[in-house]
Chains A and B, each alone.
Chain A
């Protein structure tokens, strides 16, 4: 039988507020245990929640960015269950009336087609604390610093059909929340994570299969691996005549497998009801308009503009707009280029260098584009030297690496290393002559029809000029001389 995978994601994004959603405690990551857990976060007797204005504004921003309905009236509810990282014995969340309903994002599939993924809802809630199992003999330690950190939970429709699509969707949301500056997107620190609802069904079947929920996936790689593992597990189970059980599973990164969570085995009855300590959140049109006016240019809009203005491909525009900082970098490079007279730097060259060589260096050293050791203006100067023929595109790679290591500018490096490209025909011709003289047998073979040896002569001549010969000139002259 052929199987179809069905995936829905519940993405939890921590909102980048200064203070917690219902208290004035700091939300900074990495504080000593419980240093940022105050009376409200600890659920001391008698304390009460008061809602953070910024958390509401950020949720509204998100709603507007995905063209969702921002609800004029939303309600906080209590989700009741006992767990050591949940001090009140209930989580304040939104249940029946969330702040954001509907909306959608577009993802680009591997074949280049665009698929729309619908968002069911996005609601505000508080994060739980953390249970630590290491270092304390036989016991679990509870750190409530994270308890009460604002979260927006973004629930998708079950519209993804592969792990690749799920990743594309998650990346899209990740890009979006960082554009909106509502979440720092730091997945190692757990600022952005998801639960994946995974099921399989016979291709063509209408009814959804029984799903398993894989909890707390905090890297794109894990999401992909966990989903693929889970899909294979479910198919194997079904093909072996078994049944998938609806349950919560945990992805074990060390073993690269999902397993049932014992602690959540008990059927939950969350007994949701409206939180009587909080009143309805009411938002008016003026508020929505104000937030709307504050929205930055969004990734899709930016990509569209880059394609139009710079004739970039959909792929290049997509990569360059994957973060606002990267797109800014690209645009700054071209802006600087426009101010250099008589030289035209092609946007494609800029895009390729940024997405290729520069990205390689950033990646290698684990640096974000905003911290790049080569500033946009410096990259523009380098590209100008390619455009005016001073160096070849191939040499540009070495120059960039030297700029990266030494922090000096392109001209200084080209000058100091003598990397200036040889464009003088007589110098190139001399080198060719020397190569031809040194390789008489190859020359004879070539002249008797073995065209493939052309590459050999290019290589030798390049080597003779220490790679500095202008490749176009070299080709032309070599062809002329070889043919006698």
Chain B
């Protein structure tokens, strides 16, 4: 299975990854090879089997008691933030 340049451009856009012109052919080649490998899956007859969603069988979601366990620590958490003001994370203007 082979991908072309426009596939890569579309995927990169969906994944929000800026690619340089030089990178694009590398990903065309790389992803095509990977999807070639993935194509081997067609060999398996999976008509009688459900998709596996979780590595351990028979597990179910545990529920957490509804109580507030967290306190305001936004100053600590915002130390890693590239740009904050008045407690807000800043991003370029979003137009709705």
Contact = CB atoms under 8 A, between A and B. Distances in A.
A263 B67 contact: no
B93 A133 contact: yes
Given A36-B72, A51-B63, A281-B60, A250 B96 contact: yes
A261 B64 contact: no
B78 interface: yes
A24 B67 contact: yes
A19 B77 contact: no
Interface residues of B, number: 33
A38 B70 contact: yes
B90 A139 contact: yes
B77 A142 contact: no
B74 interface: yes
Contacts of A19: 66-70
B88 to A, nearest CB: 3
B77 A138 contact: no
B39 interface: no
Contact of A82 (B16, B85, B86, B88): B16
A37 B76 CA distance: 12
A340 interface: no
A93 interface: no
Contacts of A187: none
A246 interface: no
Given A38-B77, A279-B54, A144 B89 contact: yes
B88 A142 contact: yes
A50 B62 CA distance: 7
B96 A261 contact: yes
A37 B77 contact: yes
A389 interface: no
Interface residues on A, range: 35 or more
Nearest to B59: A279
Given A35-B72, A132-B88, A139-B93, A282 B66 contact: no
Given A19-B66, A276-B53, A33 B88 contact: yes
Nearest to A89: B16
B94 interface: yes
Interface of A: 17-19, 23-26, 31-39, 42, 44, 50-56, 75, 82, 84, 131-133, 136, 138-144, 250, 261-263, 269, 271, 274, 276, 278-282
Interface of B: 14, 16, 53-54, 59-70, 72-74, 77-78, 85-96
30 contacts: A19-B66, A24-B67, A25-B70, A31-B72, A38-B70, A38-B73, A38-B77, A52-B66, A53-B64, A82-B16, A131-B94, A132-B88, A133-B93, A133-B94, A138-B93, A140-B91, A141-B86, A261-B96, A262-B95, A263-B95, A263-B96, A276-B53, A279-B54, A279-B59, A279-B61, A280-B53, A280-B59, A280-B60, A280-B61, A282-B61
Given A32-B74, A35-B72, 14 more contacts: A18-B67, A18-B68, A24-B70, A31-B72, A33-B74, A35-B74, A44-B77, A55-B66, A56-B63, A84-B94, A138-B93, A139-B92, A141-B88, A141-B90
